[in-house]
């Protein structure tokens, strides 16, 4: 059996997240259905992580095993003609059987997009938020989240994950034209973590909470104390990083 790795881009607006769920349309479900039909073989597609309903991905990775020798160029042409326009398979690689798309990953990067001016073209792909935001305060608030910390206060209270320690290596904001962009990179993310962090930083920038209160939110380890979760439509998985030589560029 050969393990194949896919690099995927998708617009999650019309899907109930990545992971297959009963009676729901999901990214994973759509891709499994189309690849299984194309190869005439039922596949099990494993993703690099979950994304919530409505969340998008610029560079998402998933792997599957097959005993079929795949012609990459032909496969990419056929699968992208087969898939809906809101999902694309950008590349396919051969990887070692011990490679795991989720557990082999070192870092993951998300970006959150906030449009600060009404724009019909940005409405569906960002969070329209027209209150005045101070870029300096946004970045001051972001600094609290960098490092190895317990993110229990920024995880869905219904989460069954026991370990809520994450290592955030970068968290910062930039302003580009009429868009505020928040970028955060970590070794792992909890359910709803980026969206609740974003909402909390916005509260800090609007001076609804102080530095002292932000630290108290961390210490409380209770989701109810942090900011509101911003809408899914502004969130994008930008990249997943793996150890060098995990897969070969020759297989593009």
User: How do residues 166-194 score in pLDDT, each as one tens digit?
Assistant: 999 999 999 998 899 999 999 999 989 99
**Looking at the annotation, which residues are catalytic?**
52
Rounded distance between C-alpha atoms, residue 186 and residue 188, angstroms: 5
| Mean pLDDT of the 36-46 span | 95
Give CA torsion, residues 176, 182, 183, 189, to 10 deg. -160
Contact 27, 12 (CB under 8 A): yes
In this chain, the answer to whether the domains covering 2-104 and 107-238 adopt an identical fold is yes
Average pLDDT, the chain: 93
**Predicted local confidence at residue 252, as pLDDT:** 41
| Mean pLDDT of the 35-60 span | 94
| Mean pLDDT of the 76-86 span | 95
In the three-class reduction of DSSP (H, G, I as helix; E, B as strand; rest coil), residue 165 is classed as: strand
Specify the range with the lowest mean pLDDT, choosing from 15-19, 147-151, 160-164, 231-235: 160-164
Write out pLDDT tens, residues 96-150. Answer: 999 999 999 999 999 999 999 998 888 888 999 998 899 999 999 999 999 999 9
| Mean pLDDT of the 148-176 span | 90
Q: Where are the domains of the chain?
A: 2-104, 107-238
Q: Which of these, 86, 90, 58, 10, lies nearest to 183 by C-alpha position? A: 58
| Beta strands 147-150 and 46-47, pairing class | unpaired
The DSSP code for 230 is P
**Predicted local confidence at residue 35, as pLDDT:** 97
149 beta partners: 166
- The answer to whether domain 2-104 has CATH 3.30.70.270 is no
**What pTM value is reported for the model?**
0.93
Considering the domain 107-238, what is its CATH architecture?
A: 2-Layer Sandwich (3.30)
**Predicted local confidence at residue 121, as pLDDT:** 87
Q: Is 177 exposed, middle or buried (0-12, 13-18, 19+ CB in 10 A)?
A: exposed
């Amino acid at each position: 059996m050969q393990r194949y790795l896919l690099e995927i881009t998708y617009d999650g607006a019309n899907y109930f997240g990545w992971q297959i769920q009963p009676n729901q349309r999901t990214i994973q479900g759509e891709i499994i259905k189309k690849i299984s039909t194309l190869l005439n073989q039922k596949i099990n597609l494993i993703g690099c992580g979950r994304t919530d309903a409505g969340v998008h991905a610029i560079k998402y990775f998933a792997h599957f095993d097959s005993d079929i020798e795949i012609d990459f160029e032909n496969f990419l042409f056929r699968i992208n003609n087969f898939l809906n326009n809101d999902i694309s398979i950008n590349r396919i690689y051969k990887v070692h059987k011990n490679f795991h798309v989720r557990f082999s990953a070192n870092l993951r990067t998300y970006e959150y997009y906030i449009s600060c001016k009404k724009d019909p073209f940005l409405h569906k792909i960002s969070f329209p938020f027209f209150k005045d935001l101070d870029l300096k305060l946004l970045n001051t608030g972001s600094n609290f989240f960098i490092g190895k910390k317990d993110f229990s206060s920024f995880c869905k209270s219904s989460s069954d994950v026991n370990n809520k320690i994450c290592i955030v290596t970068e968290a910062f904001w930039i302003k580009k034209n009429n868009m505020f962009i928040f970028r955060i990179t970590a070794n792992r993310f909890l359910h709803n973590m980026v969206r609740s962090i974003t909402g909390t930083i916005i509260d800090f920038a609007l001076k609804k909470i102080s530095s002292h209160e932000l630290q108290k939110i961390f210490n409380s380890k209770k989701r109810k104390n942090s900011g509101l979760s911003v809408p899914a439509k502004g969130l994008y998985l930008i990249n997943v990083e793996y150890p060098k030589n995990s897969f070969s560029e020759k297989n593009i």
